Structure 1
Amino acid sequence: MNGMEFNDVVARQHAPLVQRAAAIAAAQALGTATQLRDAGDRSPHAGGAHVVTLEQSAAPEIIREGAQRFRLRYDEAGSETALAALLACSAKPGMPIAADTESLSVLALADRLAASDIPVLINGPTGTGKEVLSRFIHNRSPRADKPFVAVNCAAMPEAMLEALLFGHQKGAFTGATSSSEGFFRAADGGTLLLDEIAEMPLALQAKLLRALQESEVVPIGSTLPIKIDVRVIACANRDLPTEVAEGRFRADLFYRLNVFPISLKPLRDRPDDIAPLAFALALRHTMPGKQMPFISEGALSLLKVHSWPGNVRELENVVRRALLLADGKPCVSPEHIVFDGTARLVPAEMAPSIAALAPAEPVVPGKRLSNIVQLSEARAIMATLEACGGSRVQAARQLGISERTLRYRLASFREAGLAVAGGRR
């Protein structure tokens, strides 16, 4: 059973919200379904089910009614905030959250890979969710009931890494007062994640290659190999082919691991993932028993124009900060969004003043803050495009965003009725 379950009443009362969310949930292939219910439904809940109760209201909010039960009040069924909030409420703990088409494609591919035992190499910048994707592959595999062991190769002392990976006998070296099985044997039958594998010393890479080829390890201080049954997932935030070319990574180990590579893009290149991730992180970090401030459209607009050099880890910092600043208030507003560094649409030397980014015409009372932010963003982007002679590549570079994100912004401006030119490559 995949995606979301809902009856005809929910489909009628909460369209198009449930149709959009159900399509995304089905694409994520997350296994057990989330039950969507209407607030007027008085039938008993199924025991242990993941349930989200939907209610249209002028005051949007998320209420946690149990470990796997939420009540979502939203104002507009077609709004991005309502969709993002529903995806966050429907997410299972520790599972990926995505709405961007490329991210959904990666999850679909990972779901297919999970059924096999072939090694997987996940590339991507720090903080993009490589370990979360690794756990997803493990949880969707036949090994799901066996151990998942994550090892950060960069965080382990180089002198101890071999003993930590392969184990050691008592007395094998000074301080070895007892024997240890090591991470490979701890993960026997399950999955071993080798994170930041590019940081592994060359000498140890040769021993890792042998362990992968022979499916056995030799603990330090022993001469007898021990058979293991481990599925290995490796992650790297550096370009391994470059590391191989420059002699910092063994070519034979690279080809052993690179059976099926997956690449995760930076968060700035996955703009549709930002809103559901923000809501999910807010749910995660709201103290038990406290009401979670709802993230406003204006706050989401600010999040979506940031370049996110720290990716999802930076987003988590920003969300936690916003929750603290909004404590006691019903929603997270733009004034609660404080980035790790100065957030600018353009570099400081080119950035116009805040006054220059404000709408040229007087603000109409009652006008949504998100519309004001979008209009200001459009002016800044178009000014940069004009300064770059219409080149999207140059404008994106100066704005600190990808060309894909710039195209996305231009398309969203047109959909909102703003007259913008498309620029050129």
Structure 2
Amino acid sequence: MVTLEHYVEPEYQISGTGKAIIGKTPVMLQLFDYLNRLTNVPATVLLQGETGTGKELFAQALHHNGTRSTTGPLVVVNCAQIPSELLESILFGHVRGAFTGAIKDARGVFRTADRGTLFLDEISEMSFPLQAKILRALQEGEVQPVGAARVEKVDVRVVAATNKDLRGEVKAGRFREDLYYRLSVAPIRIPPLRERREDIPLLAEYILNRLNLKYTATATGFSRQALEALSQKEWNGNIRELENVIERSLIFRREGELAEDDLLFGFDLPR
């Protein structure tokens, strides 16, 4: 096992994906060590972080760098994007005739992810009744498809994510306390960019290299002033916003070094 004092690489590679989590600040190196400890254990993981901090990348790392990548898939569900009346069927499946439009059986993502990993993004948006059913699935290792009389056994590791303070949601009565404790066996807080500004130049270079491939561009890097400008910004949208700015800038300056004047923030247009 790689331990914190030995983990000094600024990239945490996600096996088989060509992706990596980038960082060299102490908080990120500590998270890399934490990921190593969690990849091959069955514990449920709760990822908490602002929008754009890379929660899905962490879920991919937990799956693809562990043994479950060889026995089952990583299945991703964004609970905020699916109407609550459909989410139960998507999660647990249904039998033919269970409701109008159910013309054939559906497995549901819990059974699809059997022996693999299920990533439940934005779990705080899930309705209270569904939270109870998720709790049962975690406790008993079984699900009941909509309209079915029998339960189905499943072996699924659940990684959940939220951009909210789930403890606060529990206190406000919007999230089940028992489910919160079941999910947060191994909690991971992913820091926003403003808390790890030293990583921004490293992230910017990594993003630029990937975008060079996407656009067959030949940008060589950033000037010192450009990196300083990137490092000083608040980045309320975090890594997603940083990538957006770099991609827009690269579209209009496809080669050479990107200077501060080449950076296109917000709705900026090229000069």
Check whether the contact 1:294–1:332 (CA below 8 A) recurs between aligned residues. yes
- How far apart in 2 are the matches of 1:110 and 1:259? 14
* 1:299 and 2:218 matched: no
What residue is the counterpart of 2:96 in the other structure?
170
Instruction: Give the letter for the 2:34 counterpart.
Output: L
Q: Bigger radius of gyration, 1 or 2?
A: 1
Task: Return the match for 1:144 from 59, 69, 75.
Answer: 69
Check whether the contact 1:167–1:182 (CA below 8 A) recurs between aligned residues. yes
* 1:243 and 2:169 matched: yes
| Structure 2 alignment gaps of length 5 or more | none
Percent of aligned positions with the same letter in both sequences?
42
Task: Return the match for 2:8 from 21, 24, 28.
Answer: 24
What residue is the counterpart of 2:242 in the other structure?
315
> For residues 35-184 of structure 1, what are the structure 2 equivalents within 5 Å?
93-145=18-70, 146-184=72-110
Q: 1:272 deviation in Å?
A: 2.1
Check whether the contact 2:14–2:60 (CA below 8 A) recurs between aligned residues. no
Q: Deviations over 1:119-151 (max 9, x none)?
A: 111111111111101111112221122200111
Q: 1:296 deviation in Å?
A: 2.0
Check whether the contact 2:49–2:190 (CA below 8 A) recurs between aligned residues. yes
Check whether the contact 2:7–2:32 (CA below 8 A) recurs between aligned residues. no
Check whether the contact 2:51–2:163 (CA below 8 A) recurs between aligned residues. yes
Aligned residues between the structures: 263
What residue is the counterpart of 1:261 in the other structure?
187
- How far apart in 1 are the matches of 2:20 and 2:114? 23
* 1:217 and 2:143 matched: yes
- How far apart in 2 are the matches of 1:279 and 1:250? 42
Check whether the contact 2:7–2:33 (CA below 8 A) recurs between aligned residues. no
Check whether the contact 2:14–2:64 (CA below 8 A) recurs between aligned residues. no
Task: Return the match for 2:201 from 266, 275, 282.
Answer: 275
Instruction: Give the letter for the 1:301 counterpart.
Output: E
Residues 23 and 225 (structure 1 numbering): CA distance in 2 closer, same or farther, change over 3 Å?
A: closer
- How far apart in 1 are the matches of 2:217 and 2:13? 28
Residues 273 and 231 (structure 1 numbering): CA distance in 2 closer, same or farther, change over 3 Å?
A: same
SS at match of 2:218: coil
Instruction: Give the letter for the 1:250 counterpart.
Output: R
Residues 332 and 143 (structure 1 numbering): CA distance in 2 closer, same or farther, change over 3 Å?
A: same
Q: TM-score, normalised by structure 1?
A: 0.59
Task: Return the match for 2:130 from 198, 204, 208.
Answer: 204
Residues 264 and 31 (structure 1 numbering): CA distance in 2 closer, same or farther, change over 3 Å?
A: closer
SS at match of 2:120: strand
- How far apart in 2 are the matches of 1:160 and 1:29? 36
> For residues 392-407 of structure 1, what are the structure 2 equivalents within 5 Å?
none
- How far apart in 1 are the matches of 2:159 and 2:7? 29
Q: Deviations over 1:255-307 (max 9, x none)?
A: 11111111011111111221122122222222354323422222111100001
- How far apart in 2 are the matches of 1:318 and 1:136? 25
| Structure 1 alignment gaps of length 5 or more | 3-21, 33-90, 343-425
Instruction: Give the letter for the 2:185 counterpart.
Output: V
- How far apart in 2 are the matches of 1:23 and 1:341? 39
Instruction: Give the letter for the 1:318 counterpart.
Output: V
Residues 114 and 284 (structure 1 numbering): CA distance in 2 closer, same or farther, change over 3 Å?
A: same
The ranges of structure 1 where at least 4 consecutive aligned residues each deviate by more than 6 angstroms after the TM superposition are none
SS at match of 2:119: strand
What residue is the counterpart of 1:186 in the other structure?
112
Higher RCO (CA < 8 A, seq sep 6+): 2
- How far apart in 1 are the matches of 2:203 and 2:215? 19
Instruction: Give the letter for the 1:24 counterpart.
Output: V
- How far apart in 1 are the matches of 2:177 and 2:223? 49
- How far apart in 2 are the matches of 1:252 and 1:130? 23
Instruction: Give the letter for the 1:117 counterpart.
Output: P
SS at match of 1:232: strand
Q: CA RMSD in A?
A: 2.2
Q: 1:336 deviation in Å?
A: 1.2
- How far apart in 2 are the matches of 1:295 and 1:274? 12
- How far apart in 1 are the matches of 2:216 and 2:195? 35
Q: 1:28 deviation in Å?
A: 5.3
Instruction: Give the letter for the 1:111 counterpart.
Output: N
- How far apart in 1 are the matches of 2:161 and 2:14? 24
Q: 1:113 deviation in Å?
A: 1.1
